[in-house]
Amino acid sequence: MADAYRLLKTAPRSGAPLQAANPDGNMLTMEFGERGLVTYMVLEEQGKVFIVRVQWI
């Protein structure tokens, strides 16, 4: 999870869009570790990233 957190701080747009039909949307997902998934929202105008959900599957 620490690696995903660092990547979110430096390159938040590196995740995959939550909805394939909206590739430029602000909701993204990123896999981490062997079975982790984080869903997050990028607010570029405010310079903020909000983690919405962390899952281990």
pLDDT at 38: 95
Among candidates 50, 54, 53, which has minimal Cα distance to 9?
50
Collect contacts of 30-34 with beta carbons under 8 A, ≥24 apart: 30/4, 32/1, 32/3, 32/4, 33/1, 33/4
- Domain count within the chain: 1
pLDDT at 8: 85
**pTM for this entry:** 0.88
Compute the distance between CA of residue 37 and CA of residue 16 in angstroms, rounded to an integer: 11
pLDDT at 29: 96
pLDDT at 40: 96
Domain that holds residue 26: 2-56
Collect contacts of 28-32 with beta carbons under 8 A, ≥24 apart: 30/4, 32/1, 32/3, 32/4
Question: Is residue 22 pLDDT above 80, yes or no?
Answer: yes
Question: Is residue 1 pLDDT above 80, yes or no?
Answer: no
